[in-house]
Structure 1
Amino acid sequence: MNVLLSLSLLVLFAISVPVAVSIALAAVLSITFASPLPLMVVPQKMFTGLDSFPLMAVPFFILAGVIMTHGGISHRLVEFARALAGGIQGGLACSCVLTCMVFAAISGSSVATTFAVGSILIPAMARYGYPNTLAASIQASAAGLGVIIPPSVPLILYAVSTETSITQLFMAGLGPGLLVVLSLLLMVQVWCRLKGHGLRDGEGRRPLWQSTRDAFWALLMPIIIIGGIYGGIFTPTEAAAVSVVYALTLGLFVYRRIRLRDLPELFREAAVASGVVMLIISAASLFSFLISLSDLPAAIGNWAEIYLGSALTFLLGVNILLLFVGMFVETAAAILVLAPILTPVAVGFGINPVHFGVIMVVNLALGMFTPPLGVNMFAAASVAGIPVQRLFLPLMLPIACMLTALLLITYVPMLSLGLNQLLGT
């Protein structure tokens, strides 16, 4: 069954069948031709995969991101970041990284971050003399924070697929997320000073106090959500619901950028995006069930123990694998298919599953803007109005920067586990 399951999935991916359909169809073929199981298992396992309280956080966070994009929150965050960092050379590019950090901590989605922040900052950077390719590459790489900084939809999916604590994963993602932020800020500063970009970034920015006042309620949002989770006030799923109510309140009554008649379209947009993710989750649940029956994790674990030998070598191999997978496979699908296979092997090597989850998510975040098929790269090129091929070369420096951070995150577990150990969780 292992051979048929793997080959059919690879063939379906290769001929561009949609990800959710590929996963489900590969599972159905395996059950039909290589298993004594009845086909009734298919709807049962697909439904069971969605019957999870933690998974309710996914559509809520997606809806919160949609409301934020249309509700004026992203614009105020951009103005605040400009006021904070815009006075130095390269400050506008640094503002892009900082805004993505805050927006990502609310929406949990890198693609939403690319469109919401990029639609404002890419044209702004172009007006202030940045090449379009540079502006788009900074945006594409910074938006990857959307899947690292908690709350993060990929971290939720990893938690559900491996039965790991979502709260522990959110705490573990904070340190690596901040490391990536600092590395990107350093890269941007060096890049701008070497190339002479960003000399006019201080022009037209508003006073810090004024931007802080205007963005106060938007800046309060991640504090409420993340502080509520870490403080034990509400669960991640409840936090997702709170984020929707809070974003809707800001959009309707505080910033007044959303009208009641806009709500059906916003809900439709969020429902479509959520439906895609949830269909992948249900198909991957069936796939994971078959994997567990086939003892594939044990077989891979035995192979890794013989040929890789140590945890250090195993992690290096996983990084290479996930970097390649992230270029071609949608993040949710990659996590839901690979996490149940690789996590037991990692645990067998003595690697903490929370740490391993962060490694997986950071790897896949890197794949989101890595040529040739990184989704953030295509989104940023679309916003900038340039062919995606023009971003391949400018993205090499952010990729090298992110790879350096990834190696530190991989081989210094305290970056991920330190906060959990400090709080005794």
Structure 2
Amino acid sequence: MLIGAIFIAMLMMICINIPIAVALAMCGVLGLLATEGASSLVTIALDMYDGSTKFSLIAIPMFVLAGAIMNAGGITDRLINFVSAIIGFIRGGLAMVNIGVSLFFAEISGSAVADVAAMGSILIPQMKKRGYSKEFSAAVTSSSASLAIIIPPSIPMILYAASANTSVEQLFVAGLVPGLIGAGGLMFVAYAFAKRYNFPTEAAFNLPRLRETFMDALPAFTLPVIILGGIFGGFVTATEAAGLAVLAALAVSAWYGNLNLSHLRRAMLDGGIQTAVVMLLVAASVLMGGFLTRAQIPQQLAESILSITTQQWAILLILNFFFLVVGFFLHSAAAIILVIPIVIPLINSAGIDPVHFGLVVTLNLAIGQQTPPVASVLITACSVARANIWEVSKVNIWFVGVLLAVLMICTYVPAVPMFLVEYFYR
């Protein structure tokens, strides 16, 4: 009864526009007061501090900062030119350039919203100018950005690893192959749209231009080599790789000589605000997590579902549906922080690999970023494109279909995401 009242109170606070972190903390405090009295609140400040200063979480502001430096330093423009030289000659090639560059940018920032804000402001106006509809431009930018969060590094994966007490490096490795498969699927859908609506091609394939853009973008290619090579090679942790990414982004931007300090300052402030929002959620979740753990809610949930079925495929089906619904209403960070501590005992009891499940959760929440009413990434893309969200959603449903297909493959063919993890770590 108490649990139901706590969650209803939290939903009501969210509905009247109280920030999720504040609602989460207030409900956690109410739960602790009701179950253990005022004495349980003596150490909540220390508990919140300890929960938000885990070593793995330091990677979040570092990756956000690296993405801001990359955009301010002109690296993004050179990547766009290079990818355009490779595939721009295909019909609808600029849409495929959008997808390709989005995946690369996500390897630095780890944030889908940052990806849309940075890439969309450059590519969406160019797509509209060349005859692409604003709805299609927003849809392809939004969906590719959400897919990109399963390619390392990924802020949702970092939060999941911290919440589930599992390896963030293994999660990064698990996301690589599904991300590339999904990118291929998005490009196929973009090509089908291009053929149907006769979207334009860019300049014909030109080997000298490809060579020129490659040489111009070559310093930028050191960024994923440093991040992914360091993590996959076992030389650095994800957090250390994030710090190296910042230094590398600064060095490459300085090499190009067009690092605008005023823009960089603005980007750093925006990144700091984004990081503060996430960290406040993390700190608030400690209170709710403490209440749920002491009330043994996760254990009760595990027992309830296992009493219905012990089949892994059925449990994964139930949890997939659950996370898809949660993604409709909660931002990915809030959903991970709130829900993962509850379901992890179930995952462990059912014998499901937490790294495999982490990828399933991340994909579910990536789809949630595309589905109203919350749809944080879709709304950002629509804002940049100045397009109606419902009209964009009619186009975006085809791209969301690709994300759902990747989700099903990763859920029920675990070898797809896990074979690299087995090769490198087990």
Structure 2 match to 1:280: 281
Single out whichever of 98-107 and 10-19 deviates more from structure 2: 10-19
- Contact kept in structure 1, 2:181 and 2:406, CA below 8 Å: yes
Per-residue CA deviations over 1:355-412 (Å, capped at 9, x if unaligned) read: 0000000110111112332111111111112222321211111111211111111111
Structure 2 match to 1:97: 99
Matched, 1:6 2:4: no
Structure 2 match to 1:214: 216
Matched, 1:388 2:389: yes
Structure 2 match to 1:109: 111
- Contact kept in structure 2, 1:4 and 1:30, CA below 8 Å: no
Structure 1: distance between partners of 2:265 and 2:139: 34
Structure 2 match to 1:44: 46
Give the SS at the match of 1:394. Answer: helix
Single out whichever of 180-189 and 91-100 deviates more from structure 2: 180-189
Matched, 1:302 2:322: no
- Contact kept in structure 2, 1:63 and 1:244, CA below 8 Å: yes
Structure 1 match to 2:343: 342
Write out aligned runs for 1:306-385 (5 A): 306-385=307-386
Give the SS at the match of 2:383. Answer: helix
Paired residue for 1:77, among 76, 79, 82? 79
Structure 2: distance between partners of 1:405 and 1:285: 32
- Contact kept in structure 1, 2:85 and 2:205, CA below 8 Å: no
Paired residue for 2:185, among 161, 183, 186? 183
Matched, 1:246 2:266: no
TM-superposed deviation, 1:34: 3.2
In structure 2, relative to structure 1, the CA distance for the partners of 1:137 and 1:160 (3 Å cut) is same
Structure 1: distance between partners of 2:8 and 2:218: 53
- Contact kept in structure 2, 1:331 and 1:364, CA below 8 Å: yes
Per-residue CA deviations over 1:112-132 (Å, capped at 9, x if unaligned) read: 110111111111111221111
| Unpaired segments ≥5 residues, structure 2 | none
Per-residue CA deviations over 1:179-215 (Å, capped at 9, x if unaligned) read: 21121112212222233223x3336988111111111
Code of the aligned partner of 1:372? P
Structure 2: distance between partners of 1:147 and 1:396: 19
Give the SS at the match of 1:219. Answer: helix
Code of the aligned partner of 1:201? E
Code of the aligned partner of 2:178? P
Single out whichever of 187-196 and 362-371 deviates more from structure 2: 187-196
Structure 2: distance between partners of 1:377 and 1:317: 26
Give the SS at the match of 1:371. Answer: coil
- Contact kept in structure 2, 1:78 and 1:117, CA below 8 Å: no
Structure 1: distance between partners of 2:120 and 2:262: 26
- Contact kept in structure 2, 1:85 and 1:94, CA below 8 Å: yes
Structure 1: distance between partners of 2:382 and 2:178: 27
Structure 2 match to 1:257: 258
Single out whichever of 242-251 and 135-144 deviates more from structure 2: 242-251
Structure 2: distance between partners of 1:376 and 1:194: 26
Code of the aligned partner of 1:357? G
Structure 2: distance between partners of 1:175 and 1:20: 33
TM-superposed deviation, 1:320: 1.4
- Contact kept in structure 1, 2:86 and 2:205, CA below 8 Å: no
- Contact kept in structure 2, 1:82 and 1:92, CA below 8 Å: yes
Structure 1: distance between partners of 2:193 and 2:135: 13
In structure 2, relative to structure 1, the CA distance for the partners of 1:303 and 1:360 (3 Å cut) is same
Give the structure-1-normalised TM-score: 0.95
- Contact kept in structure 2, 1:343 and 1:356, CA below 8 Å: no
Give the SS at the match of 2:236. Answer: coil
Structure 1: distance between partners of 2:377 and 2:262: 31
TM-superposed deviation, 1:261: 5.3
Code of the aligned partner of 2:153? P
Give the SS at the match of 2:151. Answer: coil
Structure 2 match to 1:236: 238
Alignment RMSD (CA, Å): 1.8
Structure 2: distance between partners of 1:134 and 1:319: 28
- Contact kept in structure 2, 1:110 and 1:143, CA below 8 Å: yes
In structure 2, relative to structure 1, the CA distance for the partners of 1:89 and 1:359 (3 Å cut) is same
Per-residue CA deviations over 1:268-326 (Å, capped at 9, x if unaligned) read: 22221111111111111222222221111111111111234422121112111111211
Residues matched between the structures, number? 423
- Contact kept in structure 2, 1:148 and 1:173, CA below 8 Å: yes
TM-superposed deviation, 1:15: 2.1
TM-superposed deviation, 1:262: 5.0
In structure 2, relative to structure 1, the CA distance for the partners of 1:299 and 1:312 (3 Å cut) is same
Give the structure-2-normalised TM-score: 0.95
Structure 1: distance between partners of 2:69 and 2:234: 26
Structure 2 match to 1:414: 415
- Contact kept in structure 2, 1:104 and 1:145, CA below 8 Å: no
Percent identity (aligned) = 35
In structure 2, relative to structure 1, the CA distance for the partners of 1:123 and 1:260 (3 Å cut) is closer
TM-superposed deviation, 1:162: 1.0
Structure 2 match to 1:142: 144
